[in-house]
Amino acid sequence: MRVAITRGISPRMDRCELTHVERQEIDLERAIAQHQSYETLLEDLGCEVRCLRASPDLPDSVFVEDTAVVMDEIAIITRPGAPSRQAEIPEITAELALHRPMAQITVPGTLEGGDILVMDRRVIVGLSSRTNACGARQAADILRPFGYEVVTVPIEKCLHLKSAVTRVATDTILVNRAWIDAGAFTGETRIIDVDPAEPFAANALQIGESVVFPAAYPRTADRLNQAGIRVRPIDVSEILKAEGGVTCCSLVFEA
């Protein structure tokens, strides 16, 4: 069974962290409706959605991806680099304890799930304003016994690694090369570039044969379709204003 953990939109989402984008007014009702459509789409794609309750004190808590990295063998509970996000951890820990043995990133390490891209046994970790070298080393130590190789790449021009690159099929990544050096990916990987007019379009959520993708980026969606990728567009305009994307709003794994 495929599970997707989500968390409701905080009524204080207007106070979310922002690093590389300007603050714009977020329409809370629209954000809630978009998030519900996102959950419905995950259900359509075969996920059992478990939605944790929204918290008024945690503006960014809808972005559950940053709080954990769920592998088949173990879940890593992160230590977010944004101090305002560290209180998101207990709720997610309690939920993941139902599904996996757990390990935890500890002080002085920081790590956010948006900086982790799993390519089979290769795990790429972005060193960003949220994830430090100590956090990456701890993740490597946790994953090594299970046969994972961890490599790091610097991230300076966007929030997270997965703002710049995501996997859209077994052998294919979607990338914004202005934000990341695609050299970290091996020669066998097919690379699709985002349309230059859509720099934020590299964040796509692969679920099985389908890719959940923001409706805001039609030019890049065309490129994906032309490459034979099955795109499921969704309007997430309010989530994009909070510097989020489609991967950030769920933790998807086999239970």
Residues at the interface with ligand CIR (CB under 6 A): 16-17, 19, 60, 63, 65-66, 82, 85, 114, 159-160, 162-163, 242-245, 248
Q: Which residues contact residue 71 at a Cβ distance below 8 angstroms, ignoring those fewer than 6 apart?
A: 100, 118, 143, 146, 148
Instruction: State the minimum distance, in angstroms, from the CB of residue 238 to ligand CIR.
Output: 12
Residue 37: its H or E element: helix 28-44
Q: Choose between 69 and 221: whose C-beta lies nearer to ligand CIR.
A: 69
Q: Catalytic residue among 16, 47, 248, 249, which?
A: 248
Q: What does residue 78 show for φ and ψ, rounded to 5 degrees?
A: -85, 175
Catalytic residue among 16, 47, 160, 249: 160
Shortest Cβ 129–ligand CIR spacing (Å): 9
Nearest CB to ligand CIR, comparing residues 129 and 138: 129
Tokens describing residue 12: 């204080």
Catalytic residue check, 248: yes
> Is residue 108 reached through a cis peptide bond, with omega within 30 degrees of 0 on the bond before it?
yes
Query: Which residue's CB atom is positioned nearest to ligand CIR?
Result: 114
Of all residues in the chain, what percent are helix, strand and coil, respectively (each to 5)?
30, 25, 40
Q: How far is the CB of 170 from ligand CIR (least distance, A)?
A: 22
Phi, then psi, of 169 in degrees rounded to 5:
-160, 170
Told to judge if 51 belongs to the known catalytic residues of this protein, a careful annotator would answer no
Q: In the complex, what is the shortest distance from the CB of residue 248 to ligand CIR, in angstroms, rounded to a whole number?
A: 3
**Looking at beta carbons only, is 186 or 202 nearer to ligand CIR?**
202
Q: How far is the CB of 60 from ligand CIR (least distance, A)?
A: 4
Nearer to ligand CIR, 95 or 243 (CB): 243
d(CA 52, CA 50): 6
Taking the complex as a whole, the smallest distance from the CB of residue 12 to ligand CIR amounts, in Å, to 12
- Which are the contacts of 244, defined by CB distance < 8 A and separation ≥ 6? 62, 63, 236
Report the run of H or E that residue 190 belongs to, with start and end: strand 190-193
Q: Which residues contact 99 (CB under 8 A, 6 or more apart)?
A: 3, 70, 75, 253, 255
Is 100 or 162 the residue whose CB approaches ligand CIR more closely? 162
User: Tokens at residue 174, please?
Assistant: 């979607």
Residue closer to ligand CIR by CB (options 41, 62) is: 62
Q: Which residues are catalytic?
A: 160, 248
